Structures are given as C-alpha cells and as structure tokens.
Structure 1
Amino acid sequence: MILYRYILRAHIGPFFFSFFALILIFLLQFLMKYIDQLIGKGLGFWVIAELIVLNLAWIIVLAVPMSVLVAVLMAFGGLSANNEVTVMKSSGISLYKMMFPVFIASIVIALLLIVFNNKVLPDANHRLKVLMIDIHRKKPTLTLNPGIFSTDIPGYAIIVRKTYEHTNEFEDATIYNNSDPGKQIVITAKRGKISFTPDYRKLIMDLENGEIHEQDMENKNLYRVVKYAKYRVVMEVEGFGFERSSDNAFQRGDRELSAGDMLRIVDSLKNIQKKIYESLNSIALTNLKNPFYGRTIMSSSFYQPAVQDSVSDYEALITSSQKLISLNAIIKNHLTQIEYYNRSIDAYMVEVHKKYAIPFACVVFVLVGAPLGMMARRGNFGVAASLSLFFFLFYWACLIGGEKLADRDLLSPFLSMWIANFVVGALGVYLTIRMGKEAMIIDWYRIKEIMPRRVKTWLGIPEEEEILTDRYAR
C-alpha cells in the first residue's frame, strides 16, 4: 500500500498542472472565438463570469482524459528517469502491479466523469445556449460617431458633429424623425446629452438651443418651425437592455439531455417508426401484387377492369394511373419519414455513446501512457505533451469523423464513438505486455538528429554528450 500511495502521489501534481493548463488553453480559445460577439454589448461582470463558468462544463469533460494521459506520461517517465522503476522491478514488483493503482484511479475518475456528463453537463449546456441566445439578441450599446449617421433606433436617423465620451454629451446634432409617416420632422440642437431609462426600453435625449422643423406630408404648404431653449426627445428602443430568458424558454437539444432522457426519446422514435412500417405493410398487402403466387391482390377500388366501351376503358386507365401516382407519393412520404427518424435516432445514440466513450478514455490512456512514459525516460511536461499530442489528435479526429459518419448513417453510433478507444486501447495493451516482458526505450539520439534546436530545448532533450552518457550507462 505504501508503494501504491507513492505511485499515485507522483501523478497528482502533473495531473492538476496539466488540467488547469488545458482549461486555460480551452478558455482562451473560446474567448478568441467569441470575443467579437461580446465586445460592445455592455455586459456586466457577472454575466461574463457566468458565461465562463458554464463553458467550464464541456471543457472539463475534454480536459480530464487529456490530463490523465499527460500525468501518466510524466509520472512514469519521472520514475523511469530516476531508475525507480528498475529498483521496483528488481524487488519483484512487475509492471502490472505498478500500473494497478493508477488503473483503479482511472476507473474511479471515469465513473465520476460519467456522472458529471449525465447530471451537470446537460444543464450547463442548456443554460449556456440560453445565455448565448440572450447575448446575441442584445444590441450593442448606442454609440454616436461624429459625422456619421446612426440608424440603430428604428424610425430615427441621428448625426452629431462632436461627442464627449465620458459625459455622453454632444454638439451640433441633427435628428430626422421618420416614425410618423404623415409628418417629416427634423430637430436640430447646439448641445445635448443622451441617456437610457433604467430598464433600457427608452432613449432620452436632452437637447439645448435648437429648432424643430415639421412639414405635413399630405399638405406641403403646412410647415412649422419651433425654436426652443430646452427640449427632451423620448424614443422607444428595444434590444439595448440585457434581458434574461427562463431556462424553459427553449427546447433542449441532444447535448442538453442525459443518456436516460435520450434513450427514452429513442424508444419513442422507434415506436413511431414501427407504426410507419405497419402502415407500409398494410399498403403493400392491399395494393401490390404478390410475386410468389403470381396473383394480384389489389383492391377493387384501386383496379377497375376494362369494359367494352372504349371511353370507359380510357377513363379506367386514367383513374388507375392517378391512384398509382398517389400510392407512389404515399410510399415515398413514408420512406422519407423513416429515413428522418433513422437520422434522429443515430444523432441521439451518438451522444449517448459519447457520454461513456470519452470518460472511458481515462482508462485507455493509462494503458498506453504507462509503457510510453517508461520508454521515454523523461518526466518533464514538454516530452509528455509532445507524446500525448498524437493521441489527442487521433482521438478527437476519430470522435469528430465518427460523429459525421454516424449522422450520415455510414457507421453505427457505437462504433463511431468507441473506435478510438479500441485502437488506442489495443496499442496500450500491446505496449504494456511488451514492456512487461522486456525493457524498451525511445532512442532520443536518433530523434535528436532530425530535430531543430528550439524543439529539443522545449522538449527538454539534453545535448549529445548527455544522451550518449545516458545511453551507454544503461
């Protein structure tokens, strides 16, 4: 037990270091992607904080398996570099016993991640979708640029010659009021100040020293000019205030449901499909010819036998052809519905398997990470990140590509989500068995010859003489 605790303790630091590093990377990627949609919206601190917290849900799901792989590579690489693995093997402790506590810990992490995927992630994704819709619906804060017409407010066109950003004041303003089709109103002002009501539903412009020009559009001879010292214009506006929608305002998608909820939806879709198939069978038995017995089982209403009168004969043929066209349309409609429900079922099943396949990657990455870490004999983050990069790219490429193939019904949802685990797991089992029988190492000397100096420095690969010393010392 002391040895198990020592091995697990060697994983804790690298795991949390890589975990928080990956969270930071994903958050930066998210902010860079959506920064243009958030800037200028006038969002409060707590709204931005909630947006970041809700995004942490899906980030955690991706970061945990990746952190497990990096931690296993760093931990076993460090143990191997310090010759602690050699000491353990000489004491009669096999590679399988060294991996046992880490393997159990990965199973526990995978189970906790499955619970997280079904309890926390769906609600977080749904609240995130509602929040993003509310943010997109909010208009940017009103800005008046000198010399440029602003048409953000429906029915009004505003132009100013000079603005004061810190006081919301302006000079030499002209306001064209087109809200009333029967009148044309132009308001000028030497100075003014702009503000919103507390609920952001109305815009208030306090104007000073100006004129109001009003002309009746039906009677062009009616023209009125009013001079004022102070005048207030109140405009009805929408979308400038941030309004929150309720969590039930929008229907949940497949990524906003737990596995149990999606399986119930799949059962209901299969029941609908079953009824469509029964309807098709009924149509076939009623109107189609049985090829095995060579007899027509068409109903009398569909097929009308020809009579001696040629006019009636043509009418019967026309009626039969019309019914054939109608029957063809009905069958095509049924087949289209079946195909639609098949795609819907595949989409839900992909998400169901994804909720279990990604957590299981924690176990798979232990199988492949432990022998690779021992072979690398390097316990720094650079080597662990470089070795794990290939598996990350392969794994996520399989998930994304598998999801696309499953949505097109070219691959089963189960295989599309689990194929990466099968391939990486098989490689991990092979490397574990090979490493358990014989000591294998990565020849950094060969790799160093084709690497640029900057890459070697980042990976922590020593210079040539150090590699030769380490190589021949073993």
Structure 2
Amino acid sequence: MKILDRYILSRFLFNFISCFTILMIIFIFQAIWLFIDDLAGKGLDLWVIGKFLLYYSPSLVPTVLPFTVLLASLMTFGSFAENYEFAAMKSSGISLYRAMRSLIVFMVALGAFTFYFANSVIPRAEFKAYNLKQNIAKVKPAMAISEGIFNDIQDMNIKVEKKHGKDDRLLDNVILHQKNSKGENKTVIKAKKGELISNEKSDILKLKLIDGYYYEDQTPSNPKNLDNYPHAKAEFEVYTINVDLSEMNDVDLDEESYNTYKMYNVSELGYLIDSIEENNSTTVRNFSDNIYKRTGITTMNRSYETDNKKDSIKNTVKITEEQPRVSNTPGDILSLFEGRKKEQVVETALSNITNIVNTIDSRKAELQRKDMVLNYYIMAMHSKYALAFACVILFFVGAPLGAIIRKGGLGLPMVVGIALFLSYHFLGMFARNYAKDASIPPILGSWLSTIIMLPLGIFLTRRATADKGLLNIDSIMDPLRNLIGKFQKKEK
C-alpha cells in the first residue's frame, strides 16, 4: 500500500506544482499590468521593480492556492478514473477513502502551512510592498498624484482629472489648495491644464499651470468685517509654482513606517480589535451622553426632584391653606405657560430636536467609518483561518468530482475547476463587501464561501464513494412519469 500512496501522492504533487507555477505566473503578469502605469517609464531600476513584484507575490497566494488545490485534485482523480486505475484499485478492495488517505494527510499539513504563511509571511510581504510603493511615490511626484482625488504634496493639496504624456507629466483640470505658514487653507487655484517640469540636477520641481484662476481669502484688519468674506481673485494664462524636492530626493526606499490592517498577524490583530472595540464604545458612549445632556432632561429631572422636596416639606409643616398646585407630569408642562409663550416653548423644542438630529446625521458617517475599520480587522484575522480550511474543503470538492466526471488533463477539469473557483471566489468577495458595512457579521463575511463549499464537498464525496453519478436523473424523472400516468388514467 505504501507504493500506491507514493504513486498517488507523486501524481498529485506533479499536478499541484505545475498548476501553482502556471497560475502564479499568470497572476504576477496581471499585477505587472495593474501597476504598469506606476512603475514603467519612471526611471526606476529593474532591481526596484523586481523587488516590488517579489514583495507583492505572497499576497496572491490566498487567491492562487485554493484554485490550485481544486484544479490539481480534479486533474489527478479525473485521470485515475479515465485510465481505469480506480477500477483496478476497487477490484483489489481499495476504496476511494483509502486511495485519498495520503493526500488527506498532505492537505492537512498544507492547511497548517497555509495558516503559518498567511499569518507570518504575507503580513511581512504586504508591509514591505506597501512601504516600497509609498517611498517610490515620494521620489517620483507624478506617482504621488492619483487621478480624481485630492493628493497631499508638502504644503499643497492637488487634484487632477487626468494625467497623460511622457511620465504622466501633463495634467488636465487641476484644482490646487495651498496652505500658508499657519497651515490654513486660504488659497485655491484652478487651471485647465498643468505640467510637471523637473531636472535631475535640480531639487526644484516646477508646477506650470495654464489658463486658470487664482482665489485667496483675505483677513481684514477690523474683526467686524469678517462676515463680509473679503477675497482676491485673479485670472492668469501661465502660473508657475516651485516645489522643493530636496527632502524627497533623500528618501530611503527601504524605509519602513507605514502600516495597514493587512500587515498584522493573528495575535496583533486580536489586540488591535480589542482596542478598536473599546475606543468605538467609548466614542459612542460619550456621544450619547452629550446628546442626552443637550435634550435638557437632566435639568428637568433636577427641577422635578426639587419640587418634590418642597412638597414634602410643605406636608411636614402641615400648611392648611390650600394653594393651586400644578402636576409635574410631562403632559402638564405646557399648562405652565400661556398664549405666545406656549408657541415659543414648542418652537424651541422643535429647534432643539432638529439640531440634535442634524448632529446625529453629521456624526453618523464617522461612526460608520469606525465600525467599518473594525470590520476590516476582524475579517483580516478570520481570513487567515478560513484560507487554511478552504484548501482542505476544496480538495474534498475536487477529488470526488474528478472521480465522477472521469476526465483528466486540462480540458473538462479546467472548465469545471474555473466554474467552481469563480463561484467560491465571488461568493467570498460579495460576502466581504456586505460585511464591510455590517450588513452581515464580519466573521460570516470571511467564512461564507468556505461554509457553502463544505456541504458540496460532503455531497460529492458520498456520491463518489457510492459509485454514483453527479445527479441521478431517474430519481427526478420517475416521480414525474408517475404523476403524468395518474392524470392519463383519470382522463380515460
């Protein structure tokens, strides 16, 4: 039996390594195509580009590895069934479970190694790749300007609609906010076109703006004129801004100072999740206390308690003279006022409610963003566990399915493998997108695709071990035939 185990394992490893190598090359070329605009033609050394791709490659493993396991198991067991090797095994009394035993041990070991890789190697590689990309953006200012969003460059905040030309130095529809020495944003410049001009021998970058307007807020000497919003406006054909790059050109590409949620292992993520949850709870608690105090309920409660104390003192002294007394129930508050004052009280209450609602609406986006950050961290931690289990579960999907379809090679197994993997991948992607805004729990967002594949693996394994096809057509057609026969008898 050891010879058989070695034979099955060697066939599987050959398919596994071949598929993994081919898929990694394909996805790396996809990464090159994705970052070609940021890396190519920027004067970067091939060593720097190669190092970036090397750091980026481990982040492809969570996508490539499950696909490799599914495809390799389909090809291996499909080839065994197609060449009647399974028939020879079964005639010798070897079941499908027994034939899969060596591979089950290998898959468990692979799952453990995958968790270690996702927990240790991928966070470090993400850390290196992200920092290298940020440092490259410092050295090459054109890379630091992304289209359609505001980008911080020293004391400027610049937005461009489109970059084009050599090294993306030509800019269209430029909006620039310039800060003064106090960090105040009082200058806005808009231009239809722009150009970045630099020289390797100079530390000065020239930003040449063409056909635009210059706006600047003025601070009046008399504070009473602040409400008039004085400003200066000018039209220009060409306006040049000089940016000192002496600090940028001294950037160390190996500097490491940036962190995101993808760059932590499980223990670090657990600590950060607890800290973020506590911080979010404190923020919500303080905000709710502030809103509660702004309603004025606390003041009303103190007045109510004071009135009750006064009533108890009057009862103790036994004042016999009857005096009119107003009830302290909420329904009698307006009865304390008359005429126009009642309307003023109602208007004030409505104004307070409107202000409170506006305050809640303005803070709603911030609180949702905090919850979204927490969800990212929770999904990042559970995705490491889900990836390890996904490799094992997808093996139990691919191996019995290969034995059922009885086709090896790169034909039908490739088609079936791609269809199953796309289902698995898009389920996971949709689940993570829903989990970001807490539409579903973030833990479910990491595990949903794996959980859905589990019953499919159990179903296919049971069908394959019982020597049954993928679907039993007779079990579906027989009830329909019986039903049609009953109707025909009734008509006769």
1:282 Cα deviation (Å)?
A: 5.2
- Structure 2 vs 1, CA of residues 68 and 57 (structure 1 numbering), >3 Å: closer, same or farther? same
1:102 Cα deviation (Å)?
A: 1.3
The answer to whether residue 408 in structure 2 is matched with residue 401 in structure 1 is no
Contact 1:70 1:384 in 2 (8 A): yes
The answer to whether residue 456 in structure 2 is matched with residue 435 in structure 1 is no
Partner of 1:91: 92
- Cα deviation 1:299-358 (Å, max 9, x = unaligned): 449x99787798988887777666656655665567655433322222211222222222
Q: 1:386 aligns with which of 406, 415, 423?
A: 415
Q: 2:266 aligns with which of 259, 266, 270?
A: 259
Contact 1:377 1:441 in 2 (8 A): no
- Structure 2 vs 1, CA of residues 196 and 312 (structure 1 numbering), >3 Å: closer, same or farther? closer
Contact 1:360 1:421 in 2 (8 A): yes
Q: Compare 325-334 and 10-19 and name the one that shifted more.
A: 325-334
Whole-angstrom CA distance in 1 between matches of 2:244 and 2:337: 78
1:404 Cα deviation (Å)?
A: 0.9
Higher helix proportion: 2
Partner of 2:110: 109
- Cα deviation 1:269-314 (Å, max 9, x = unaligned): 2222333454467568878799xxxx9964449x997877989888
1:39 Cα deviation (Å)?
A: 2.0
Give 2:425's aligned amino acid.
W
Q: 2:251 aligns with which of 243, 247, 257?
A: 243
The answer to whether residue 276 in structure 2 is matched with residue 269 in structure 1 is yes
Partner of 1:72: 73
Q: 1:77-156 alignment to 2 at 5 Å?
A: 77-139=78-140
Contact 1:276 1:334 in 2 (8 A): no
SS class of match (1:123) = helix
- Cα deviation 1:249-268 (Å, max 9, x = unaligned): 32x11112223222222211
1:119 Cα deviation (Å)?
A: 0.8
Structure 2 residues not aligned, in runs of 5+: 143-197, 206-242, 308-332, 472-492
The answer to whether residue 386 in structure 2 is matched with residue 357 in structure 1 is yes
Whole-angstrom CA distance in 2 between matches of 1:115 and 1:95: 30
Q: Compare 100-109 and 278-287 and name the one that shifted more.
A: 278-287
Q: 1:220-235 alignment to 2 at 5 Å?
A: none
Whole-angstrom CA distance in 1 between matches of 2:52 and 2:115: 23
Give 2:108's aligned amino acid.
I
Give 2:274's aligned amino acid.
D
Whole-angstrom CA distance in 1 between matches of 2:416 and 2:344: 77
Q: Compare 65-74 and 379-388 and name the one that shifted more.
A: 379-388
Contact 2:397 2:453 in 1 (8 A): yes
The answer to whether residue 34 in structure 2 is matched with residue 26 in structure 1 is no
Q: 1:3-22 alignment to 2 at 5 Å?
A: 3-22=4-23
Whole-angstrom CA distance in 2 between matches of 1:21 and 1:242: 39
- Cα deviation 1:352-381 (Å, max 9, x = unaligned): 222222232211111111111112322212
Whole-angstrom CA distance in 2 between matches of 1:237 and 1:280: 43
Contact 1:65 1:359 in 2 (8 A): no
Partner of 1:340: 369
- Cα deviation 1:404-446 (Å, max 9, x = unaligned): 111122112222222211222211210110111124379xxxx
Whole-angstrom CA distance in 2 between matches of 1:31 and 1:356: 29
Contact 1:364 1:421 in 2 (8 A): yes
Aligned residues: 353
Structure 2 length normalisation: TM-score?
Answer: 0.62
Give 2:85's aligned amino acid.
E
Structure 1 residues not aligned, in runs of 5+: 142-193, 204-234, 443-474
- Structure 2 vs 1, CA of residues 441 and 277 (structure 1 numbering), >3 Å: closer, same or farther? closer
- Structure 2 vs 1, CA of residues 317 and 358 (structure 1 numbering), >3 Å: closer, same or farther? same
Q: 1:410-425 alignment to 2 at 5 Å?
A: 410-425=439-454
- Structure 2 vs 1, CA of residues 377 and 259 (structure 1 numbering), >3 Å: closer, same or farther? same
Whole-angstrom CA distance in 2 between matches of 1:195 and 1:319: 64
Whole-angstrom CA distance in 1 between matches of 2:337 and 2:362: 37
Contact 1:354 1:417 in 2 (8 A): yes
- Cα deviation 1:112-152 (Å, max 9, x = unaligned): 111111111112112111212233344399xxxxxxxxxxx
Whole-angstrom CA distance in 1 between matches of 2:445 and 2:257: 33
Partner of 1:231: none
Whole-angstrom CA distance in 2 between matches of 1:274 and 1:239: 40
The answer to whether residue 53 in structure 2 is matched with residue 52 in structure 1 is yes
Contact 2:136 2:253 in 1 (8 A): no
- Structure 2 vs 1, CA of residues 353 and 33 (structure 1 numbering), >3 Å: closer, same or farther? same
Contact 1:23 1:63 in 2 (8 A): yes
1:403 Cα deviation (Å)?
A: 1.1
Q: Compare 392-401 and 266-275 and name the one that shifted more.
A: 266-275
- Structure 2 vs 1, CA of residues 279 and 38 (structure 1 numbering), >3 Å: closer, same or farther? closer
Q: 1:292-371 alignment to 2 at 5 Å?
A: 298-300=301-303, 328=357, 338-371=367-400
Q: CA RMSD in A?
A: 3.9
Contact 1:118 1:355 in 2 (8 A): yes
Whole-angstrom CA distance in 1 between matches of 2:440 and 2:461: 30
Whole-angstrom CA distance in 1 between matches of 2:70 and 2:289: 56
Whole-angstrom CA distance in 2 between matches of 1:134 and 1:284: 44
SS class of match (2:110) = helix
Whole-angstrom CA distance in 2 between matches of 1:196 and 1:249: 27
SS class of match (2:100) = helix
1:202 Cα deviation (Å)?
A: 7.8
Percent identity over the alignment is 25
Give 1:46's aligned amino acid.
W
- Structure 2 vs 1, CA of residues 314 and 246 (structure 1 numbering), >3 Å: closer, same or farther? farther
